[in-house]
Structures are given as C-alpha cells and as structure tokens.
Amino acid sequence: MTEPPTLLLLTPSEDQVEAAAPLRAARPDAAIVPVCDLAALRAAVQARPGARLVSVCSPVIVPADVLAGLSGPAYNLHPGPPDYPGLFPAVFALYDGATSFGVTLHEMAPEVDSGAIVAANTVDIALDMGRLALEALSWRLALHLLEGMAPALTDLSRPLPVLDLSWSGPARRRADFEALCRLPADVDEAEFRRRLRAVGEGPHHALRLTAFGRWFRLEPEHPDAPVLKGGRTMDGCAPLR
C-alpha cells in the first residue's frame, strides 16, 4: 500500500479551502499543508522535502533555492494562457483586445513562467467583459482545471506529463502595469476607456495623470462598493497575480 502523499498548497489564506477541496476529493488520505507566504513555504519545505508543492493563484514567486530543496517538480496553476506570461495577465489581455483567455498549469522553474506546460484551458472573452469579470472567470477556470488534474497532482510517484506547448510573448512585470496606469497627457477618450477596461478600479491602484507638476488619480465610480477578488467579497485583498 502506497504511503499517503504530502502536498504543500501555496495559495492565499482566503482561497485555501476551495483550492484544497479538489485535491482532497482525489486523494482523501493526502496530507495537505497550507502555506500562504514565502516564510511559511521555506519552513514547510525544510520540514517536508519529500512533499509536492502545488501553487494555486498565489502571488508568491518561489525562489530557486526553495525549488532545489524539493525532491521532485513543483507545479504552478495561475490565470493567464501561455501567451501571457508574467504578472497581471488579465490586464494585458484586455488591453491588447484579446478574444480569448485562460489558465495554465506548469512546472515551476527559477525564471517566472518558463517551466514546462502541463495543462491549459482557454475560453472566449465577451466584448463587454472587464478586469473584474475576467478575474472572476479565471478563478472558476483554475478550480475546474485543478479538479481535472487533481488525481495526477496527488500521485507523487511520477511527474506530470508535459504538453507540446511553449510560452510566448513578453513576461510582464509590475513596472509594466504601473506604466499602463500612467495616462499620457494627451490621452483621448478611446485610449482612456481601453485602459480603464484593462486596469479596472481597486483599492491598490488607479489610473492617473500628471499636470501642473502634480499627480491626479481617478476616483472609483463607486467608492463604497465592497472589494472583490475573483468575484468574491474581500476586505482589502490584493489583485489576482
């Protein structure tokens, strides 16, 4: 009889229950260790080097030394198809006018979004869909893909087979997102609306422009509305990815 697997589940604390459910359903005897930040991850890897690391929509970038401390490959499931690597994939897909979007499961590598791709799901983007709706859809897609891949993820006897898919396009960084938030002085209405659709409104960011030596920030249309993450009400949460 095989020994029950141990999984290190790296995901925000508010997402742990939903992310763990498909893994528990696939392997009820699995030991699932919740980790939410890099410090907790380092401690968990040191204590359980034989565990498999599974990251689900986590903002934590796992450094090379942590990956090296594991006995096998680690896996990352996050919003964004293979042609939108890096941070804020939903933002740049909307800004580019992409007609489809999805989620990707891949092996972790020291360089962000460069590991072998294991699975990917893609759906069409509605023309009226903004960032909030797309990130809510992304969370549902991630859970659906996790459910399908859970039997393989909880089988530590072998690595997951990889697909003949490659990453493409520039790997976006936070600086790229910040640049998109800075409106040019001569911005026209079409470009303003294009950026607003992509960037959205939130407690941690805003479109802004400079004039008379000062910065002006766009106020939310509904400043008293609850903060949402993935379509769920949150209290001051950070954006997906």
Estimate to the nearest angstrom the gap between the alpha carbon of 34 and the chain centroid: 17
Estimate to the nearest angstrom the gap between the alpha carbon of 148 and the chain centroid: 18
Determine the angle formed by the axes of helices 89-96 and 131-153, rounding to 10 degrees.
Answer: 130
Check: CB of residue 119 under 8 Å from CB of residue 105.
yes
Check: CB of residue 102 under 8 Å from CB of residue 128.
no
Estimate to the nearest angstrom the gap between the alpha carbon of 73 and the chain centroid: 19
Distance CA 177, CA 170 (A): 13
Query: 109: burial class by Cβ within 10 Å (0-12, 13-18, 19+)?
Result: middle
β-strand partners of 215: 210
Res 233: pLDDT? 46
β-strands 52-56, 232-234: how paired? unpaired
Structure-block tokens of residue 130: 């903004």
Q: What are phi and psi of 45, to 5 degrees?
A: -65, -40
β-strands 232-234, 227-229: how paired? antiparallel
- CATH 3.40.50.170 in the chain, residue ranges: 6-153
User: On the CB side of 42, how many CA atoms lie within 13 Å of its CA?
Assistant: 6
Res 221: pLDDT? 66
Residue type, 196: L
Res 203: pLDDT? 66
Res 241: pLDDT? 40
β-strands 52-56, 75-79: how paired? parallel
Distance CA 5, CA 28 (A): 10
Res 222: pLDDT? 54
In the chain, the DSSP E strands lie at 6-10, 31-35, 52-56, 75-79, 100-107, 117-124, 208-211, 214-217, 227-229, 232-234
Check: CB of residue 166 under 8 Å from CB of residue 80.
no
Residue type, 19: A
CATH class label, 6-153:
alpha beta
pLDDT in 10s for each residue of the chain, 241 residues: 478 999 999 999 999 999 999 999 999 999 999 999 999 999 999 999 999 999 999 999 999 999 999 999 999 999 999 999 999 999 999 999 999 999 999 999 999 889 999 999 999 999 889 999 999 999 999 999 999 999 999 999 999 999 999 999 999 999 999 999 999 999 999 999 999 999 987 667 789 988 888 888 887 765 554 444 554 544 433 333 4
